[in-house]
Amino acid sequence: MNRVLLIAAASLSLAACATPTVYAPSTGAPTSVGFTDYRIETGRYRVSYTGGGGAPMAQVADYALLRAAEVALRDGYDWFRVVDRQDRTIGAGAGGRPRVSVGVGSGGGGWGRRSGVSVGVGTSFDLSGGPALSRTLEVMAGKGPVPKDRDVYDARDIVRVIGRGEGR
C-alpha cells in the first residue's frame, strides 16, 4: 500500500512539469509554445502567440500584443490597431479526472503447473497543467501620432510595459 501511495505522490508532483510558457519564436508545430507572425500586406500582419498548458489567458494576450508591437517597430511603424482577434483552446488539458482501472486474468495449469488468477490495478493522471491557449491578432500598423481610438496601441509603450514585465 505504501508503494502505491509513493507512486501516486510522485506522479502528482510531476504536474508542475507542464509545458512552460516562454516568450520565444514557435517551432512551427501545431501545439508548440511561442509566437509566429507574417505580413499579409504592407502594414498589415497576423501575429499569434500560444502559451504552454495552463498559461493564463492574460499572459497569452500580453505576449500577442508584445509581438505585434515588436513587428510594427521592426518595420518602421509607431503604432498598431487590432482589427481582428481570435482565441483558441488547444487540447483538453486538465479536464480529465484521475482514472483507475482494474484487470483480472487467469492462467491454465498445463504441463503440471498450477492454475492461477492475478489482479492488476492501473492509474492515470492528466499532468498537462491544462489546455494550451492561443491568441491570434490581425493588426494594421501606422506612423505618426497614435490615434485615440479603441484597440490602437503605441508600439513603444507596449514593448516598454509588457516587454519588461511591468504589465504582468
* pLDDT, mean of residues 45-52: 95
> Is residue 123 assigned to a domain?
no
**Residue-number span of the structural domain to which 37 is assigned:** 20-92+131-168
> What is the total count of domains within the chain?
1
Q: What are the C-alpha distances in Å from 73 to residues 40, 76, 85, 86, 162?
A: 16, 5, 20, 23, 15
State the DSSP code for 52.
Answer: P
| pLDDT number for residue 154 | 98
> Is residue 12 assigned to a domain?
no
> Is residue 110 assigned to a domain?
no
> Is residue 40 assigned to a domain?
yes
pLDDT tens, position by position, 124-155: 555 556 788 999 999 999 999 999 999 999 99
The average confidence (pLDDT) of the chain is 80
> Is residue 144 assigned to a domain?
yes
| pLDDT number for residue 163 | 87
Residue 79's pLDDT band, with cuts at 50, 70 and 90, is very high
Compare 57 and 2 and report the one with higher pLDDT. Answer: 57
* pLDDT, mean of residues 13-34: 73
Query: Residue 157 corresponds to which cell in the numbers above?
Result: 509603450
> Is residue 142 assigned to a domain?
yes
> Is residue 85 assigned to a domain?
yes
pTM of the model: 0.69
Residue 97 has pLDDT above 60, yes or no: no
> Is residue 150 assigned to a domain?
yes
